[in-house]
A and B are shown apart, each in its own frame.
Chain A
Amino acid sequence: EQHESQKPDTKSLVRQMHEAYLKHFHMNKAKARVFLTGKTSTPPFVIHDMDTLQHAERKLHTQLLGNVASGDASSLQEREVEARLFLFCQYASVETVTELTEFAKAVPGFAALDLNDQVTLLKYGVYEALFALLASCMNKDGLLVARGGGFITREFLKSLRKPFSDMMEPKFQFAMRFNALELDDSDLALFVAAIICCGDRPGLSDVSHIERIQESIIHALRLQLLSNHPDNALLFPKLLQKLADLRQLVTEHAELVQEINKTEDASLHPLLQEIYRDMY
């Protein structure tokens, strides 16, 4: 394995994925930890109740909602708090899906795949990847939002009315277990690539091509973990287990979103609609 890790193609794959990750994701674990540990001159604004949420909406409007049309924005304040938070989540998700798409294209071999297979890999992979990345923005007390401008407390999210109160708690529980593995951004880059390039998504046409890409990423991930975490020999199998946990997390999340979509007056962004439709 010592010898294997010296192979230039694996080393360059590790480096390439790390660079693409830093290039395409505006937030990463190193940046998030600076905000979460208070080592910044501009600490995030803490959102812990309705008043602080309203204050944050005025203060962080662009970071929370991106370039939402001004008409939508002006009617937003009339909507209930749960619907507004659901909308912020959606905009953050759309942004991350866009970043993940660019990151996926940087995985060697991905762009050469049949376009239908690229669509399928993203459809099934983006939410698993999103929740893995979200863990970097979480600690036991809350979640960093609006590019580090805000911090929503876990208690406030739990205090929302049902079914919205059930939205984030499972992600916190996953994040606490996942963060205990102490991965850094160079590990996460390969982990996210492994999530996306997964040969057993439903309806893939060129499975063997995807499995070859997957194999090279998993191989690189194993060697990366051995060299970056030499004292934790079980990290690689533990991380493979997290892939299964993420799949379960997404299945439950998709069910909850379908329920909200059916029973609440909360419209779903067209990109997210595409992803959820006929998913599981």
Chain B
Amino acid sequence: SHTLQEKHKILHKLLQNGNT
């Protein structure tokens, strides 16, 4: 659900980042 992403903002951000 939406709240799962909200509760895991940093993980979510890491997943959406391209390769650094």
CB atoms of A119 and B1 under 8 A apart: no
| A105 CB contacts on chain B under 8 angstroms | 15, 19
CB atoms of B11 and A122 under 8 A apart: yes
Chain B interface: which size bin? 10 to 19
Considering only CB atoms and an 8 Å cut-off, how many residues of chain A contact the other chain? 19
Q: Taking the complex as formed, is A224 at the interface, i.e. its CB lies under 8 A from any CB of chain B?
A: no
Bound-complex Cα distance A136 to B18 (A): 28
Across the A-B interface, how many residue pairs have beta carbons closer than 8 Å? 41
CB atoms of A120 and B4 under 8 A apart: yes
CB atoms of A271 and B11 under 8 A apart: yes
Q: Give residues in A with beta carbon < 8 Å to B.
A: 97-98, 101-102, 105, 115-116, 118-120, 122-123, 203, 270-271, 274-275, 277-278
The SS class assigned to the B binding surface is helix
Bound-complex Cα distance A219 to B7 (A): 34
Convert B3-16 into 0s and 1s, putting 1 for each residue whose CB lies closer than 8 angstroms to a CB of A.
Answer: 01101111110111
Bound-complex Cα distance A123 to B4 (A): 11
| B14 CB contacts on chain A under 8 angstroms | 97-98, 101, 271
Bound-complex Cα distance A192 to B4 (A): 24
Bound-complex Cα distance A102 to B14 (A): 8
| B15 CB contacts on chain A under 8 angstroms | 101, 105, 115, 118-119, 122
CB atoms of B5 and A115 under 8 A apart: yes
CB atoms of B1 and A123 under 8 A apart: no
- A115-B16, A278-B7 given. 7 additional CB < 8 A pairs? A105-B15, A118-B15, A119-B5, A119-B15, A270-B10, A274-B8, A274-B10
